[in-house]
Amino acid sequence: MNLSGRIALVTGGSRGIGRAIVCSLAEAGAKVAFVYQSNKEAAEKLAAEQAALGHEVLALQADVSKKAEADAIVEQVLAKWEKIDILVNNAGIIRDKPILAMSSDDWQQVIDTNLTSVFNFCQAVVRPMMSARYGRIVNMSSVSADFSNPGQANYAASKAGIEGFSRCMATEYAKRGITVNCVAPGFIETDMTVAVVNAAGDKIKNSIPVRRLGKPDDIANAVLFFVSEQASYITGQILKVDGGLTLGGMG
């Protein structure tokens, strides 16, 4: 994939899946700005590593759930590079609890970080993308949108919302040269999933037809495809990258 000359913006980019996406886009030739919320050390380390490889990568701090901060990030990227060709909404958190034990804050924080942030950044980038008559947007969903685990009502709702939002946006802006797609990971080896994986032991791996957990690069490769010219005729789609997990359900 050749993304030379392209400008990309990635939310939740300092670690895990987001970090792999940033590295993949930069390696393909794009200039990449990524957003982190609190882990400044990890963000600066990633930017420095990419600079050492000759890649232009910019780390920006923001609370993605706040519209004003999303707007400010987009303005900074436009001021530096004049355009945004690619947006990857990857920022996400979990606050797993049974519904009766779930506080209003547990609910709202997940909805705001996972779902509202997608609206915030999509709305902020769509006008310059419309002017350019070009855009590639990839929103990170999850297999939990369709195959929910107990204790994940807030997370599943946020991811199902992302998919519905993405289909609507794809319809609205297809004629302006903007594609909008989702990648829905299964169980991926990241900091966010380590507790769940460790608690379940081999049960999770045995439920996956390919008999392994996914790697962040597996997701980054799917994102790279969606933002490439090879996917220019694909929009409004949800690609499950789960090793076949959802073929037989999650029960």
134 catalytic? Reply is no
Which residue among the candidates 134, 155, 173, 233 is catalytic per the annotation? 155
Residue with tokens 């220019």: 232
Q: Is 9 helix (H, G, I), strand (E, B) or coil?
A: strand
Nearest to 179 by CA among 133, 218, 148: 133
133 phi-psi bin (left φ>0, alpha ψ -120 to 50, beta other): left
According to DSSP H, which parts of the chain are helical?
16-27, 40-52, 67-81, 104-110, 117-132, 153-173, 194-200, 202-207, 216-227
In eight-state DSSP terms, residue 206 is: H
Q: Which residues are catalytic?
A: 155
